[in-house]
Amino acid sequence: MTHEEINAGSNVSMVRHFILLGFSDLPNLQGFLSGMFTIIYLIILIGNGLIIIITIIDPALQRPMYFFLANLSSLEICYVSVTLPRMLFNLWTQKRNISVLGCATQLCFLFILGTTECFLLAVMSYDRYMAICHPLHYPLLMNPKKCAQLAAGSWLGGVPVQIGQTCQIFSLHFCKSNQIPHFFCDIPPILKLACGDTSAHEVSVYVVVMLFAAVSFMVILGSYSKIISTVLSLPTVQARTKAFSTCSSHLLVVVLFLGSATITYLRPKSSHSAGTDKLLSLFYTILTPLINPMIYSLRNKEVIAALKKLFLQTQSHGCP
């Protein structure tokens, strides 16, 4: 297997494509990784797909909480589909080239969807705050129109900024190499390939991540501070347990996604390494979409009941 590598002294105009090295440093595990990631991708599609289906067809789940959960599952399918199919193609064919335009497109969609997840997690925490702290006004305040507006804002809110940042990054000249030691196009390894001083671009990345992640985190922190205060004042242990159970699933997802993503992009440049970057990226690009359906279904009796009902209906229709 050979790749056209651009050496440090080459003309910048020669860079027509990048090479996603991915897991090429593990040549004996290519077949195993291919099979494992294929199974993971199918599980993510099926698990999140089931969540979307039951929230649409089950009348018991026609509530704001499950509307936002369906949005999150749709987002996870889109998010993982930006990176995993390309990685699987590279593993299957051992062809790791990606055009500069393809790389920019992948990066742009990845960050638009990542921003959407930050906003959506914040909206879900706000929904739980309204449901627990203002139960009497909840149906009025979280009406279908308001839910649709919040969901649309989450999906579209980061689009202009992330398109602008992608254009800014790919306006750079790349002359150090064209090899990206990652399984998808990501900002830290791409900036390492750029000629000249990239400090302004690094600051721009920090500002955008801090803006979106910090705002989302503050909304989540504020919501859960109020929720915990309200839950502790509930009269019965059963009521407190039910409220905490509903919220703990969401908090686990928040910690996994925001924690790993924030560490990845806010670490000092000197502490970045290919192995660490790939490991952290696996958390927020693959692990979170994989375990989201499990977290929300295993800890939610209504979701479990809806899934059982769906399987029973499927079996009854399949019986002669």
Q: Which of 79-88, 197-206, 257-266 has the lowest mean pLDDT?
A: 257-266
Q: Roughly how many angstroms between the first and final C-alpha of the chain, as a whole number?
A: 53
Q: Which two tokens stand for residue 261?
A: 């993503």
The structure tokens 């749709």 sit at 74
- Going by C-alpha positions, the residue among 253, 236, 254 that lies closest to residue 297 is 253
Residue 158 has pLDDT above 80, yes or no: yes
Residue 191 has pLDDT above 60, yes or no: yes
Residue 15 has pLDDT above 80, yes or no: no
Which pLDDT score is estimated for 45?
95
Which pLDDT score is estimated for 318?
57
- Going by C-alpha positions, the residue among 142, 115, 118, 143 that lies closest to residue 131 is 142
pTM of the model: 0.87
Residue 149 has pLDDT above 70, yes or no: yes
Task: Please tell me which residue, 196 or 268, carries the higher pLDDT value.
Answer: 196
What digits encode the pLDDT tens for the residues 275-284? 777 887 888 8
CB 91 within 8 A of CB 25: no
Task: Please tell me which residue, 260 or 220, carries the higher pLDDT value.
Answer: 220
Residue 209 has pLDDT above 90, yes or no: no
Question: Rounded distance, CA 206 to CA 200, Å?
Answer: 10
Confidence of residue 195 (pLDDT cuts 50, 70, 90): confident
Q: Averaged over 287-299, what is the pLDDT?
A: 81
Three-class DSSP labels, the chain:
CCCCCCCCCCCHHHCCEEEECCCCCCHHHHHHHHHHHHHHHHHHHHHHHHHHHHHHHCHHHCCHHHHHHHHHHHHHHHHHHHHHHHHHHHHHHCCCEEEHHHHHHHHHHHHHHHHHHHHHHHHHHHHHHHHHHCCCCHHHHCCHHHHHHHHHHHHHCCHHHHHHHHHHHCCCCECCCCEECCCCCCHHHHHHCECCCCHHHHHHHHHHHHHHHHHHHHHHHHHHHHHHHHHHCCCCHHHHHHHHHHHHHHHHHHHHHHHHHHHHHHCCHHHCCHHHHHHHHHHHHHHHHHHHHHHHHHCCHHHHHHHHHHHHHHHHHHCC
Which pLDDT score is estimated for 11?
43
Using CB atoms within 10 A of its CB, is residue 254 exposed (0-12), middle (13-18) or buried (19+)? buried
Q: Which of 22-26, 61-65, 165-169 has the lowest mean pLDDT?
A: 22-26
Question: Rounded distance, CA 8 to CA 219, Å?
Answer: 45
Residue 309 has pLDDT above 90, yes or no: no
Mean pLDDT rounded to a whole number for the chain: 84
Confidence of residue 143 (pLDDT cuts 50, 70, 90): very high
Residue 1 has pLDDT above 70, yes or no: no
Which pLDDT score is estimated for 2?
44
List, in order, residues 6 or more apart from 215 with CB less than 8 Å away. Answer: 118, 122
Query: What are the phi and psi torsion angles at 173 (to 5°)?
Result: -95, 140
Residue 273 has pLDDT above 80, yes or no: no
